[in-house]
Structure 1
Amino acid sequence: MDQNAMPDWEKRFRAPRVSLPEWAEDAPDRSLFVSNATGTFELYAWDRTTGAQRQVTDRPNGTTNGTLTPDGQWVWWFSDTDGDEFGVWMRQPFAGGEDEPVATLPASYPAGLAIGRDGTVVVGRSTDEDGSTVHVVRPGGGEPVEIYRHSESAGIGDLSRDGSLLVIEHTEHGDAMHSALRVVNPDGSTVAELDDSEGGTKDLGLSVLGFAPVDGDPRLLVGHQRRGRWEPMVWDPLSGTTKELDLELPGDVLAEWYPDAGALLIVHSFQARDELWRYDLETGERTRIETPPGSVMGATARPDGTVEFLWSSAALPPQVRSTSGATVLDPPGMKAPGSVPVEDAWVEGPGGKIHALVQKPQGEGPFPTVFEVHGGPTHHDTDSFAGQPAAWVDHGFAVVRVNYRGSTGYGREWTDALKHRVGLIELEDVEAVREWAVGSGLSNPDRLVLAGGSWGGYLTLLGLGTQPETWALGLAAVPVADYVTAYHDEMEALKSMDRTLLGGTPEEVPERFEASSPLTYVDKVRAPVYISAGVNDPRCPIRQVENYVERLEQRGHPHEVYRYDAGHGSLVVEERIKQVRLEIDFALRHLPGAAQAPGAAQG
């Protein structure tokens, strides 16, 4: 299509984008990034010394999971089949060459990877049969040695710089929402344990932020929730000491090391926006690193003292910037058009104040409105650039995104409120925001669309059945539709999460699974339903979607289903555009009187 004739919403998807470059620790001029420059998200190697960039992977369904060896000589990438997330690790020389497998291990779901400077490789795996396992491959090859196994979810956190210590993040206590940490020797023998959940009796979790990046330093940077939110602390597993860092910042605070381990790069997230700080570990001095208002999707401190970060806002597309003032990576070709900024709404809800982000088209309301609920559920919407909400605004819709209970970013209690009455709790918050949107004059009560992908798709189908008089239309992408069947078919790590959320298996707590399953309420659905699903999806498997669709068909209920040959979403730009176009077309056909911006129906 001629670029001049292309609608803005398509340009936002087609415009080349890049991720924050990862750099090799011992060769910082060698970097790896992800880009959609070819129309599919793939890995690219970048030699900063020469400026040369090279596409590393080239697969029909794209590739985003990769890393560099510490010396920058190799690119490692995860090879799955048709987006099913089940596969093996491969490697390719940084300068180019043939791919080769890196360990004689059967295919699995990835559960972390750590590469030592001496060539030692630690591979984390997860399968339905074996649970979580960790394997060590010594330099020079040989058979991998299994050093860890457990039925609950676990994965590799990090390997110390000298390769003497490995940290495993695990949920052996059975609470998949709150991990514990175990530092082990390369043979698997335990060095130290850190478990704030006290065996699962407390809702406190830990996360690995990384070992100190200097030789002989065993300190581990850890995220903790001891004061009701994510904050960093330093743990020395050899001495057993911990040092909490009270940074006096509201909201979640995470960090990574500066290369000399004398300071931390702080990422502070508060009310759907981010800011950066430098924290000196010796003096405790905190220095603001200036970034524009919006969201920082990644940041890294370079050996020269500069900080590179990936930034965007709802109005402005992503940019990879440096504190030096330079643009780090500027992809060639078409630039994405901007969109409208978000406005904040705070609404009293049954569990406390709910934060929602609102985008409005030109003109006066009330508008047809898309309530786009995020996935996760342990995630949250931010003031960042997103093609799908912008597309709805272009077509005359207001967009409301709700950070419901269960979302991250608003404290541990808000996230942990999502238990047992799964799905129903989130929808109570969506309903409270809906009442505000209608009462404020923003939204037309007769033209409300409930939409979302993954967990958001699940909430969409559940909301259509439990709030049938509220919604005029439902758009569910890669959803959980039949919770019991989904549990039995999904990947093992998600089974563990579901047991935590619902308090057991479908056999142990059948009433909870029934109350939280969209299939239970399918006969009450009144609104037309659009569903898209990946036939290779390991997270929201296709069989449970088909069970829901069959019930709609038996009722003769208006619905459309789009099945595509990929997994939990697509990394192919044309496929993603097709899915958005189908959703918009469905809405415009089934939502009488929906407003539409001039020329928005193109494409």
Structure 2
Amino acid sequence: MRAGAEDALASGSIGVVSIHPHAEIPDQLFTDPEAEARWRARFTSARNSTPDWARLAPDRNLYVSNISGVWEVYAWDRATDTHRQVTDRPNGTSHATLSPDGETIWWFADTDGDEFGQWMVEPFGGRAPGEEPQQALPGVHDGYPAGLEIGSDLVASATATDDGTTIWVNRGVQGERGGATIVYQSEHDAGAAALSYDETLLAISHSEHGDSRHPALRVLRLGDGSREEDNTVVAEKWDGEGKGLDAIVFPPIAGDQRLLVSHERRGRPELLIWDLATDTETELHLDLPGELSADWYPDGRSLLISHQYRARGELYRYDLAEGTLTRLNTRPGTVGSAAVRPDGTVEYGWSSSHSPSVVRALFTDGTDQVVLTPPGEPAPPSVALTDAFVPGPGGEIHALVTRPADAPDGPLPTLFSLHGGPHAEDEDRFSAHRALWVDAGFVVVHVNYRGSTGYGSQWRDAIEGRPGLTELEDVAAVHDWAVRTGLADPAKCVVEGGSWGGYLTLLALGTQPERWAAGVAAVPVADYLAAYEDEMEPLRAFDRALFGGSPAEVPDRYRECSPLTYVDEVRAPVLVLAGENDPRCPIRQIDNYLDRLAERGVGYEVYRFDAGHGSLVISESLRQRVAEVHFARRALGLASPVV
């Protein structure tokens, strides 16, 4: 670390616990007004998700958008091309869906981002003046949502609490819905996964074998009565230790009992069709190198295949009878949320590192165009990513790299941005966050470390038994490569991430102190033992599967992999951002870590916000980004604001 940077960031009295220095938030990051306006526009420009439509009324659609300055739910009537904001809550709303007939909108109401709450309903056309949204499911208690399957005559909903998972069926049309019948209850993590079109079969994902990361499937036949015993088990499927099964969807055809399933029998997510009528399965052997997911075409004769490989996505149509695979004409980049409308049009979200996200449609005549454009100017473009493949201790590591376009030759300050998850990946998609760091003069390096998805089951599961430390071996290999090749200035390397990436950031600062000049950790795991005690039960189940047991069973593993264990080795200044209502990385365990930093007199700053695991409020996101970049540039001895 550059001499003097730690002293410059230290504030408060050494040894005073729980009085933490607040992050500085200047009015601007750039002295150039155009540069300042450009980075802010990338965050504030209107964006929206790919629309979801009602199965029996495809002109009725829902999407989430930041048009109001907060991510909220919007209704779109395609027949009249009218849009309506549905929700208006201080901390935003992100989960919503439609009833099959399009008459009602379902959205999930939590409290200030804590993810714990109830499903609410209201008419698609809007509530009457003074009318409040109604609780959707009488008899269902508050909890963390674990799946919602809405039919015309029944709803299957799953809720997780500290006691485990409960799945209910509520029968009857909305407004006359009867009481809730419990059809499944377990102390283990589970969820409602798929409902057949005729509403007779319900697929349940469960982890009764003790491993929520590799679930099994159970299918129930839903009876006509209101008693639990009226619902019978049709079939079970489990591929054994370390091989998960995920129910995707039944075909949109009455009486069709084929369930599309994701499996990993050959070391990567692939596809099979499970016919519940005969309890037989057909594996689909597709000549594609990456990981696969899919959806049905409306006639049930073809599949829309989503193929993810080396941080890029593409779409295919697979004809089941002919066994033919046809690539659809999508552009290079990341493809997400793809689905087939009743007329055969394929709608999907698309972006690349250079180009902001849009909703596009591939029509049956072969044309491709944007179908949903939010108001206002689009976000300014950014610099494209390049690929790097670095030898690592567990195999080749894929990194994505971008460098400021007008930067001088030679090593530059470098941000190693570590994704959350851990079961996720950095992709060739647009990121206002990345673009800001590039504009601020940083090379940005994304590391798809072991634990990431997109590179096969073995790569994803390599962190089992030693999470955190395993990923950081890969980060170290990429760091060495970046320094060796002259890309990164070894004295000006910053490690940064949110959620699991925030956990890795704090762990890196303590276990690799010689590598880092500063760290920025957003909503991190900081004290794993305390985090396990306070976090939501679905994450405790995930941790037990990842570590090989609970802290009571394998305490040494949790201590070995906890950032708090290494806090006395931290030398670089660190900024920690934390949500007061976060159920995933709770606030108490972060305070434990900060108190230890305060005892040691290490240079650090803290940004606390009144939300959960991140914020859906755009102005809040802007403040956090300002705090992060301003902190990092000061820690490196660089001018802030950026000249």
Smaller-chain TM-score range? Answer: over 0.9
SS in 2 for 1:75: strand
Query: Separation in 2 of the partners of 1:551 and 1:334?
Result: 46
2:171 to 138, 155, 166: 138
Q: Alignment partner for residue 212 of structure 2, among 155, 163, 176?
A: 176
Corresponding residue for residue 276 of structure 1 = 315
Structure 1 residues 19 and 600 mapped into 2: Cα distance closer, same or farther (>3 Å)? farther
1:365 equivalent in structure 2: 410
Q: Corresponding residue for 1:589?
A: 634
| Offset of residue 51 of structure 1 | 0.1
- SS for the counterpart of 1:574 is helix
Structure 2 Cα separation of the partners of residues 377 and 195 of structure 1: 24
Deviation at 1:227, TM superposition (A): 1.3
What is the rounded CA distance, in whole Å, between the counterparts of 1:247 and 1:60 in structure 2? 46
Structure 2 counterpart of 1:57:
87
**Is 1:311 aligned to residue 354 of structure 2?**
no
Shift of 1:247: 0.9
For residue 160 of structure 2, what is the amino acid of its counterpart?
S
Asked if the contact 1:392–1:399 (Cα under 8 Å) also holds between the matched residues in 2, the reply is yes
State yes or no: 1:239 paired with 2:283: no
Identify the residue that residue 196 of structure 1 maps to in structure 2: 239
Q: Is the 8 A contact 1:192 1:238 kept in 2?
A: no
How far 1:593 moved relative to its partner? 4.1
Query: Would you say 1:159 and 2:195 are equivalent positions?
Result: yes
Identity, % of aligned positions: 55
User: In 1, distance between residues paired with 2:348 and 2:298?
Assistant: 16
User: Hey, what's the Cα distance between the residues in 2 that align with 1:406 and 1:160?
Assistant: 33
What residue is the counterpart of 1:424 in the other structure?
469
Distance in 1, Cα, partners of 2:401 & 2:466: 27
Pair 1:121-2:164 in alignment = no
Matches for 1:106-505 after TM superposition, within 5 Å: 106-118=141-153, 120-128=154-162, 130-139=163-172, 140-186=176-222, 187-197=230-240, 202-324=241-363, 325-361=368-404, 362-363=406-407, 364-505=409-550
Q: Deviations over 1:435-471 (max 9, x none)?
A: 0000000000000000000000000000000001110
Contact 1:7–1:600, Cα closer than 8 Å, also in 2: no
What letter is aligned with 1:137?
A: N
Residue of 95, 109, 119 corresponding to 1:89 = 119
| 2:100 corresponds to 1:100 | no
CA 1:52–1:470 in 2, change beyond 3 Å: closer, same or farther?
Answer: same
Q: Deviations over 1:379-417 (max 9, x none)?
A: 000000111111100000000000000000000100011
Task: Give the Cα–Cα distance (whole angstroms) in 1 for the partners of residues 623 and 527 of structure 2.
Answer: 26
Residue 70 of structure 1: aligned partner? 100
Equivalent residue in structure 2 for 1:33, among 48, 58, 63: 63
How big is the shift at 1:428?
0.1
Rounded to whole Å, the distance in 2 between the matches of 1:486 and 1:574 is 28
Give the drift of 1:232: 1.3
Q: Classify the secondary structure of the residue corresponding to 1:530.
A: strand
Counterpart pick for 1:46 among 76, 79, 82 = 76
8 Å Cα contact 1:208-1:223 kept in structure 2: yes
Alignment pair present for 1:12 and 2:42: yes
CA deviation string 1:505-559 (max 9, x = no partner): 1111111001000000001000001000000000000000000000000111110
Give, in angstroms, the shift of residue 103 of structure 1: 1.5
Which structure 1 segments of 5+ residues have no match? none
Alpha-carbon deviation of 1:600?
Answer: 4.4
Task: Provide the rounded CA distance (Å) in 1 between the counterparts of 2:119 and 2:542.
Answer: 25
Distance 1:244 1:593 in 2: 56
| Structure 2 counterpart of 1:144, one-letter code | A
**TM, length-normalised to structure 1:** 0.97
- Deviations for 1:464-493, whole angstroms, at most 9, x for unmatched residues? 000011100000000000000000100000
Q: Which amino acid aligns with 1:194?
A: K
2: CA distance between counterparts of 1:240 and 1:101?
Answer: 37
Moved over 3 A (4+): 1-6
**In structure 2, C-alpha distance between the alignment counterparts of 1:314 and 1:298, rounded to whole Å:** 18
| Separation (CA, whole Å) in 2 of partners of 1:183 and 1:309 | 30
Residue deviations 1:183-213, cap 9 Å, x none?
Answer: 002244211011112xxxx210111110111
Q: CA RMSD in A?
A: 1.4
Amino acid across the alignment from 1:42: E
Aligned residue in 1 for 2:226: none
Quick one: distance in 1 between partners of 2:37 and 2:457? 41
2 CA distance for matches of 1:376 and 1:326?
32
Cα separation, 2, equivalents of 1:365 and 1:49: 56
Q: Is the 8 A contact 1:117 1:161 kept in 2?
A: no
Read off the aligned partner of 1:75 and give its amino acid letter.
Answer: I
Paired AA for residue 155 in structure 2: V
Contact kept in structure 2, 1:191 and 1:238, CA below 8 Å: no
Aligned length: 592
**Paired amino acid for 2:52:** E
Alignment TM-score, normalising by the size of structure 2: 0.91
**Shift of residue 572 of structure 1?**
0.5
